[in-house]
Chains A and B, each alone.
Chain A
Amino acid sequence: MKFGVVVFPGSNCDDDMIHVLGDVMKSEVVKVWHKDTGLPGFNTSDCIVLPGGFAYGDYLRCGALAGLSPIMSAVKDFAAKGGMVVGICNGFQVLCEAGLLPGVLLANSSQKFICKNIHLKIENNETPFTRLTSKGDVLKIPIAHAEGRYYADENILGQLEMNNQVLFRYCSPTGEVADEYNPNGASRNIAGICNEGRNVFGMMPHPERASEEILGNTDGRILFESLLNHVLESA
Protein backbone atom coordinates (compact mmCIF):
# COMPACT_ATOMS: atom_id res chain seq x y z
CA MET A 1 0.00 0.00 0.00
CA LYS A 2 1.29 3.38 -1.00
CA PHE A 3 0.31 6.82 0.26
CA GLY A 4 0.32 9.98 -1.85
CA VAL A 5 0.27 13.29 0.05
CA VAL A 6 -0.98 16.17 -2.08
CA VAL A 7 0.97 19.40 -1.79
CA PHE A 8 -1.02 22.54 -2.57
CA PRO A 9 0.49 26.02 -2.42
CA GLY A 10 -0.19 26.82 1.23
CA SER A 11 -0.24 23.24 2.55
CA ASN A 12 1.73 23.18 5.80
CA CYS A 13 1.04 19.78 7.36
CA ASP A 14 2.28 17.81 4.33
CA ASP A 15 5.72 17.05 5.78
CA ASP A 16 4.26 16.08 9.17
CA MET A 17 1.96 13.65 7.40
CA ILE A 18 4.80 12.23 5.29
CA HIS A 19 6.92 11.81 8.43
CA VAL A 20 4.19 9.89 10.25
CA LEU A 21 3.25 7.69 7.29
CA GLY A 22 6.86 7.04 6.26
CA ASP A 23 9.02 7.15 9.40
CA VAL A 24 6.46 6.12 12.01
CA MET A 25 4.13 3.81 10.09
CA LYS A 26 6.97 2.55 7.83
CA SER A 27 4.82 2.89 4.70
CA GLU A 28 5.76 3.98 1.22
CA VAL A 29 4.77 7.61 0.79
CA VAL A 30 5.32 10.14 -2.00
CA LYS A 31 4.41 13.76 -2.54
CA VAL A 32 1.85 14.59 -5.22
CA TRP A 33 1.89 18.07 -6.75
CA HIS A 34 -1.35 20.06 -7.07
CA LYS A 35 -0.75 20.67 -10.78
CA ASP A 36 -0.48 16.96 -11.59
CA THR A 37 -3.31 15.85 -13.83
CA GLY A 38 -3.22 12.16 -12.97
CA LEU A 39 -2.19 9.68 -10.31
CA PRO A 40 0.01 7.25 -12.26
CA GLY A 41 1.43 4.49 -10.11
CA PHE A 42 -1.48 4.50 -7.69
CA ASN A 43 -4.08 1.76 -7.56
CA THR A 44 -7.23 1.29 -5.52
CA SER A 45 -5.40 -0.30 -2.59
CA ASP A 46 -3.49 2.98 -2.19
CA CYS A 47 -4.49 6.12 -0.35
CA ILE A 48 -4.34 9.80 -1.25
CA VAL A 49 -4.05 12.21 1.68
CA LEU A 50 -5.00 15.89 1.54
CA PRO A 51 -3.05 17.49 4.39
CA GLY A 52 -3.76 20.46 6.61
CA GLY A 53 -2.77 24.02 5.81
CA PHE A 54 -4.19 26.92 3.88
CA ALA A 55 -4.37 25.67 0.28
CA TYR A 56 -4.39 28.59 -2.17
CA GLY A 57 -4.37 30.87 0.85
CA ASP A 58 -7.92 29.74 1.63
CA TYR A 59 -8.90 32.61 -0.68
CA LEU A 60 -12.60 32.98 -1.48
CA ARG A 61 -13.59 30.16 0.94
CA CYS A 62 -11.39 27.59 2.65
CA GLY A 63 -10.76 24.73 0.25
CA ALA A 64 -12.69 26.31 -2.64
CA LEU A 65 -9.87 27.00 -5.08
CA ALA A 66 -7.94 23.86 -4.14
CA GLY A 67 -11.10 21.95 -5.00
CA LEU A 68 -10.74 23.18 -8.59
CA SER A 69 -7.04 22.31 -8.95
CA PRO A 70 -5.91 19.80 -11.62
CA ILE A 71 -5.00 17.12 -9.07
CA MET A 72 -8.52 17.15 -7.64
CA SER A 73 -9.97 15.89 -10.93
CA ALA A 74 -7.57 12.97 -10.66
CA VAL A 75 -8.46 12.47 -6.98
CA LYS A 76 -12.16 12.40 -7.90
CA ASP A 77 -11.51 9.73 -10.54
CA PHE A 78 -9.39 7.79 -8.05
CA ALA A 79 -12.17 7.94 -5.43
CA ALA A 80 -14.80 6.94 -7.99
CA LYS A 81 -12.77 3.77 -8.69
CA GLY A 82 -12.75 2.97 -4.97
CA GLY A 83 -9.35 4.38 -4.00
CA MET A 84 -9.11 5.70 -0.45
CA VAL A 85 -8.89 9.44 0.14
CA VAL A 86 -8.28 11.05 3.53
CA GLY A 87 -8.58 14.79 4.19
CA ILE A 88 -7.28 16.24 7.43
CA CYS A 89 -8.33 19.75 8.52
CA ASN A 90 -7.83 21.89 5.38
CA GLY A 91 -7.93 18.60 3.45
CA PHE A 92 -11.43 17.98 4.85
CA GLN A 93 -12.44 21.47 3.72
CA VAL A 94 -11.08 20.73 0.23
CA LEU A 95 -13.00 17.42 0.04
CA CYS A 96 -16.25 19.21 0.94
CA GLU A 97 -15.68 22.00 -1.58
CA ALA A 98 -14.75 19.45 -4.25
CA GLY A 99 -18.04 17.64 -3.63
CA LEU A 100 -16.38 14.41 -2.47
CA LEU A 101 -17.96 14.79 0.96
CA PRO A 102 -21.26 16.48 1.83
CA GLY A 103 -21.51 19.71 3.81
CA VAL A 104 -19.11 22.56 4.40
CA LEU A 105 -16.80 23.91 7.11
CA LEU A 106 -17.73 27.37 8.39
CA ALA A 107 -15.93 29.87 10.62
CA ASN A 108 -15.80 28.71 14.25
CA SER A 109 -18.76 30.07 16.20
CA SER A 110 -16.27 31.79 18.54
CA GLN A 111 -14.65 33.61 15.57
CA LYS A 112 -11.29 32.46 17.00
CA PHE A 113 -8.55 30.19 15.74
CA ILE A 114 -8.56 27.25 18.17
CA CYS A 115 -5.47 25.14 18.77
CA LYS A 116 -5.88 22.58 21.57
CA ASN A 117 -6.46 18.95 22.38
CA ILE A 118 -10.06 17.80 22.13
CA HIS A 119 -11.74 14.45 22.58
CA LEU A 120 -13.44 12.46 19.86
CA LYS A 121 -16.00 9.74 20.26
CA ILE A 122 -15.90 6.95 17.69
CA GLU A 123 -19.35 6.68 16.15
CA ASN A 124 -18.65 4.15 13.42
CA ASN A 125 -15.80 1.65 13.58
CA GLU A 126 -16.87 -0.27 10.50
CA THR A 127 -14.84 1.74 8.00
CA PRO A 128 -11.26 1.29 6.72
CA PHE A 129 -10.24 4.43 8.66
CA THR A 130 -11.66 3.34 12.04
CA ARG A 131 -11.72 -0.45 11.89
CA LEU A 132 -9.22 -1.02 14.73
CA THR A 133 -11.15 1.26 17.10
CA SER A 134 -14.30 0.30 18.97
CA LYS A 135 -17.58 2.18 18.82
CA GLY A 136 -17.69 4.56 21.78
CA ASP A 137 -13.88 4.73 22.16
CA VAL A 138 -12.55 8.20 23.00
CA LEU A 139 -9.44 9.54 21.27
CA LYS A 140 -7.57 12.66 22.36
CA ILE A 141 -6.41 14.48 19.23
CA PRO A 142 -5.52 18.15 18.68
CA ILE A 143 -7.44 20.58 16.51
CA ALA A 144 -5.93 23.71 14.96
CA HIS A 145 -8.40 25.66 12.86
CA ALA A 146 -10.43 28.84 12.43
CA GLU A 147 -12.99 27.27 10.11
CA GLY A 148 -14.00 23.92 11.50
CA ARG A 149 -17.72 24.32 12.17
CA TYR A 150 -19.17 21.44 10.17
CA TYR A 151 -22.48 22.47 8.65
CA ALA A 152 -25.01 20.74 6.45
CA ASP A 153 -28.75 21.19 6.23
CA GLU A 154 -31.07 18.94 8.24
CA ASN A 155 -31.76 16.79 5.20
CA ILE A 156 -28.07 16.00 4.63
CA LEU A 157 -27.46 15.54 8.37
CA GLY A 158 -30.33 13.05 8.45
CA GLN A 159 -28.80 11.11 5.58
CA LEU A 160 -25.37 11.10 7.22
CA GLU A 161 -26.84 9.67 10.43
CA MET A 162 -29.00 7.13 8.59
CA ASN A 163 -26.04 5.86 6.57
CA ASN A 164 -23.69 5.86 9.58
CA GLN A 165 -21.38 8.32 7.85
CA VAL A 166 -20.54 10.23 11.03
CA LEU A 167 -17.19 8.85 12.19
CA PHE A 168 -16.28 11.17 15.07
CA ARG A 169 -18.08 13.60 17.38
CA TYR A 170 -16.53 16.07 19.80
CA CYS A 171 -17.06 14.81 23.34
CA SER A 172 -15.84 14.95 26.95
CA PRO A 173 -12.81 12.90 28.07
CA THR A 174 -15.30 10.21 29.11
CA GLY A 175 -17.25 10.23 25.85
CA GLU A 176 -20.20 12.48 26.68
CA VAL A 177 -21.37 14.32 23.58
CA ALA A 178 -22.68 17.75 24.65
CA ASP A 179 -22.55 21.38 23.51
CA GLU A 180 -19.91 22.26 26.09
CA TYR A 181 -17.45 19.86 24.41
CA ASN A 182 -18.10 21.23 20.94
CA PRO A 183 -15.14 23.55 20.26
CA ASN A 184 -16.37 25.22 17.08
CA GLY A 185 -20.15 24.99 16.95
CA ALA A 186 -20.23 22.04 14.54
CA SER A 187 -23.67 20.65 13.70
CA ARG A 188 -24.39 17.72 16.02
CA ASN A 189 -20.78 17.87 17.33
CA ILE A 190 -19.55 16.36 14.06
CA ALA A 191 -15.73 16.26 13.77
CA GLY A 192 -15.33 13.76 10.94
CA ILE A 193 -17.37 11.94 8.32
CA CYS A 194 -17.03 9.55 5.41
CA ASN A 195 -18.81 9.21 2.11
CA GLU A 196 -21.48 6.61 1.48
CA GLY A 197 -18.94 4.34 -0.24
CA ARG A 198 -16.70 4.30 2.88
CA ASN A 199 -13.58 5.25 0.91
CA VAL A 200 -13.43 9.05 1.37
CA PHE A 201 -12.78 10.33 4.88
CA GLY A 202 -12.55 13.84 6.30
CA MET A 203 -11.83 15.08 9.80
CA MET A 204 -10.89 18.43 11.35
CA PRO A 205 -8.58 17.09 14.13
CA HIS A 206 -4.96 16.20 13.32
CA PRO A 207 -4.13 12.53 14.02
CA GLU A 208 -0.66 13.04 12.50
CA ARG A 209 0.13 15.35 15.42
CA ALA A 210 -0.76 12.60 17.87
CA SER A 211 1.11 9.56 16.59
CA GLU A 212 4.41 9.51 18.48
CA GLU A 213 5.47 8.91 22.08
CA ILE A 214 7.88 11.82 21.90
CA LEU A 215 4.95 14.16 21.25
CA GLY A 216 3.17 12.81 24.31
CA ASN A 217 0.17 11.41 22.50
CA THR A 218 -0.28 8.39 20.26
CA ASP A 219 -4.09 8.32 20.06
CA GLY A 220 -4.02 9.26 16.36
CA ARG A 221 -1.96 6.25 15.27
CA ILE A 222 -4.86 3.85 15.35
CA LEU A 223 -6.46 5.60 12.36
CA PHE A 224 -3.38 5.10 10.18
CA GLU A 225 -3.00 1.55 11.51
CA SER A 226 -6.63 0.95 10.54
CA LEU A 227 -5.99 1.99 6.93
CA LEU A 228 -2.95 -0.29 6.70
CA ASN A 229 -4.83 -3.13 8.37
CA HIS A 230 -7.74 -2.72 5.96
CA VAL A 231 -5.47 -3.09 2.94
CA LEU A 232 -3.65 -6.07 4.50
CA GLU A 233 -6.93 -7.84 5.25
CA SER A 234 -8.40 -7.12 1.81
CA ALA A 235 -5.30 -8.39 -0.02
Chain B
Amino acid sequence: MKFLAEIEIMPHKELLDPQGKTVAKNLKYINIDGVEDVRIGKHIKITLEADSQDDATEKVKTACEKVLSNPIMESFHFTLSEA
Protein backbone atom coordinates (compact mmCIF):
# COMPACT_ATOMS: atom_id res chain seq x y z
CA MET B 1 0.00 0.00 0.00
CA LYS B 2 1.12 3.52 -0.73
CA PHE B 3 0.89 6.22 1.92
CA LEU B 4 1.49 9.94 2.07
CA ALA B 5 2.87 11.36 5.31
CA GLU B 6 2.65 15.08 5.88
CA ILE B 7 5.05 16.06 8.62
CA GLU B 8 5.24 19.37 10.45
CA ILE B 9 8.38 20.23 12.37
CA MET B 10 8.47 23.31 14.59
CA PRO B 11 11.11 24.85 16.84
CA HIS B 12 10.28 24.49 20.54
CA LYS B 13 8.21 27.37 21.93
CA GLU B 14 10.87 28.45 24.42
CA LEU B 15 13.52 28.80 21.71
CA LEU B 16 14.29 32.07 19.99
CA ASP B 17 13.43 31.69 16.30
CA PRO B 18 15.46 34.49 14.68
CA GLN B 19 14.08 33.70 11.22
CA GLY B 20 10.50 34.05 12.41
CA LYS B 21 11.33 37.18 14.35
CA THR B 22 12.88 38.81 11.28
CA VAL B 23 9.83 37.98 9.16
CA ALA B 24 7.52 39.32 11.88
CA LYS B 25 9.41 42.61 11.96
CA ASN B 26 9.25 43.04 8.20
CA LEU B 27 5.58 42.30 7.48
CA LYS B 28 4.83 45.96 8.20
CA TYR B 29 6.50 46.86 4.90
CA ILE B 30 3.59 45.31 3.02
CA ASN B 31 1.17 47.08 5.34
CA ILE B 32 0.29 44.06 7.44
CA ASP B 33 -0.14 45.19 11.00
CA GLY B 34 -1.20 43.37 14.12
CA VAL B 35 1.37 40.59 13.71
CA GLU B 36 2.24 39.35 17.18
CA ASP B 37 4.53 36.46 16.40
CA VAL B 38 5.90 34.38 13.53
CA ARG B 39 7.41 30.93 14.02
CA ILE B 40 9.00 29.14 11.09
CA GLY B 41 9.29 25.38 10.83
CA LYS B 42 9.35 22.76 8.09
CA HIS B 43 6.70 20.86 6.20
CA ILE B 44 7.90 17.54 4.79
CA LYS B 45 5.94 15.15 2.56
CA ILE B 46 7.00 11.53 2.33
CA THR B 47 5.42 9.04 -0.05
CA LEU B 48 6.14 5.49 1.00
CA GLU B 49 5.18 1.87 0.50
CA ALA B 50 4.17 0.03 3.66
CA ASP B 51 2.27 -3.14 4.59
CA SER B 52 -0.30 -1.35 6.69
CA GLN B 53 -1.22 1.96 8.30
CA ASP B 54 0.59 0.85 11.47
CA ASP B 55 3.69 -0.10 9.54
CA ALA B 56 3.70 3.27 7.76
CA THR B 57 3.17 5.11 11.04
CA GLU B 58 6.13 3.30 12.58
CA LYS B 59 8.40 4.09 9.64
CA VAL B 60 7.49 7.78 9.58
CA LYS B 61 7.80 8.09 13.34
CA THR B 62 11.28 6.55 13.23
CA ALA B 63 12.31 8.91 10.41
CA CYS B 64 11.05 11.89 12.42
CA GLU B 65 12.75 10.82 15.62
CA LYS B 66 16.08 9.81 14.13
CA VAL B 67 16.63 12.24 11.29
CA LEU B 68 13.93 14.72 10.37
CA SER B 69 13.74 16.47 13.74
CA ASN B 70 16.15 17.05 16.59
CA PRO B 71 14.29 16.71 19.90
CA ILE B 72 16.61 19.23 21.58
CA MET B 73 15.30 22.02 19.37
CA GLU B 74 12.16 20.81 17.59
CA SER B 75 8.91 18.91 17.94
CA PHE B 76 7.08 17.09 15.17
CA HIS B 77 3.67 15.76 14.32
CA PHE B 78 2.36 14.12 11.19
CA THR B 79 -0.74 12.90 9.44
CA LEU B 80 -0.88 9.82 7.27
CA SER B 81 -3.22 9.07 4.39
CA GLU B 82 -3.44 6.45 1.66
CA ALA B 83 -1.90 7.86 -1.49
Contact = CB atoms under 8 A, between A and B. Distances in A.
Interface string B44-83: 0000000000000000000000011010110000000000
Interface string A147-166: 00001110000000000000
Which of under 10, 10 to 19, 20 to 34, or 35 or more describes the interface residues of A?
10 to 19
Contacts of B73: 61, 104, 106, 151
A104 B12 CA distance: 13
Instruction: Classify the interface of chain A: helix, strand, loop or mixed.
Output: loop
A97 B18 contact: no
A110 B21 CA distance: 10
A108 interface: yes
Given A60-B68, A61-B70, A103-B72, 13 more contacts: A68-B67, A97-B70, A104-B70, A104-B72, A108-B18, A109-B18, A111-B18, A111-B21, A111-B22, A151-B15, A151-B73, A153-B72, A185-B16
The 6 A-B pairs with the shortest beta carbon distances in the complex, nearest first, are A111-B18, A104-B72, A111-B22, A104-B73, A107-B18, A109-B18
Interface in B14-44: 15-16, 18-19, 21-22
A185 B18 CA distance: 11
A181 to B, nearest CB: 18
A206 to B, nearest CB: 22
Contact of B70 (A64, A68, A107, A111): A64
Given A60-B67, A64-B67, A68-B67, A151 B18 contact: no
Interface footprint category on B: 10 to 19
Interface of A: 60-61, 64-65, 68, 97, 103-104, 106-111, 151-153, 185
Contacts of B19: 107, 111
A103 B68 CA distance: 16
A106 B15 contact: yes
B19 to A, nearest CB: 6
Contacts of B70: 61, 64, 97, 104
A152 B68 CA distance: 19
A148 to B, nearest CB: 12
A23 to B, nearest CB: 37
B34 to A, nearest CB: 23
A75 B19 CA distance: 33
Contacts of A109: 16, 18
Nearest to B71: A104
B72 A151 contact: yes
A130 B73 CA distance: 29
Contacts of B15: 106, 151
B63 to A, nearest CB: 11
Residue from A65, A68, A151, A152 whose CB has the most chain B CB atoms within 10 Å = A151
